[in-house]
Amino acid sequence: GAGVSQSPSNKVTEKGKDVELRCDPISGHTALYWYRQSLGQGLEFLIYFQGNSAPDKSGLPSDRFSAERTGGSVSTLTIQRTQQEDSAVYLCASSSFGQESGYTFGSGTRLTVV
Amino acid sequence: GIQVEQSPPDLILQEGANSTLRCNFSDSVNNLQWFHQNPWGQLINLFYIPSGTKQNGRLSATTVATERYSLLYISSSQTTDSGVYFCAVAGIQFYFGTGTSLTVIP
């Protein structure tokens, strides 16, 4: 697609439920990143996928968080047993290094845990 | 990881004024970008500028990689420039600064 697509744009869930957030990167971009942004805060790195390499999971805050990227394209971020502190905007970005396109972000998923 | 510091943290401008935002980083990087996050939360890529100077309309940016800083210039500011400006630098992953929150008042 022309841009990075994220779905859903908004998600309200009850504490303790699992949620899945989806990111569809720009076609041909080999790198995909997940960040989250809490209200009024900067961006917190979560996980990074590059091609077929093992992902860099160093930013995942707990083992309730996991992500996968199937076929080198679409990525799903899963949060199990959601907690209120998980409420944030989850942003996905993709890039293709070696080109002067840098990072392109999706519009994010606003997750609210009630 | 790489430390990224942005200044000032907050800035209020009268419409039509000029401003300079600064980004300092702690290590050599192979990528640097400036982003604008609008009031709706959307992150817009302004410049991909690991070194040198680029201009796009009223905005320009300069990165001096050897001295580990980048500057974003906004000239003739408009109310639509309001939002948060982030600098992000990359080794393997991107490291974001905490941003400069800009408010342009009419």
Specify the pLDDT at position A1. Answer: 54
Q: What is the pLDDT of residue A5?
A: 96
User: With a CB-CB cutoff of 8 Å, which residues 34-73 of chain A face chain B?
Assistant: 35, 37, 42-43, 45, 48, 56, 59
Query: What is the predicted pLDDT for the residue at A72?
Result: 76
Mean pLDDT of A5-16: 97
Residues 6+ apart with CB under 8 A from B11: B19, B21, B100, B101, B102, B103
Q: Are B1 and B95 in contact (CB under 8 A)?
A: yes
Contact B66, B78 (CB under 8 A): no
Q: How confident is the model at residue B47 (pLDDT cuts 50, 70, 90)?
A: very high
Question: What integer pLDDT is reported at residue A23 of this predicted model?
Answer: 97
Lowest mean pLDDT across A36-50, A74-88, A93-107, B66-80: A93-107
Please give the order of strands across the beta sheet that includes A5-7.
A5-7, A19-24, A75-79, A65-69
Give the pair of three-digit tokens for residue A105: 């972000």
Task: Burial-class residue B23 by CB neighbours within 10 Å (0-12, 13-18, 19+).
Answer: buried
Q: Which pLDDT belongs to residue A99?
A: 46
Contact A43 B96 (CB under 8 A): yes
Mean per-residue pLDDT over chain A, rounded: 90
pLDDT surpassing 80 at residue A40: no
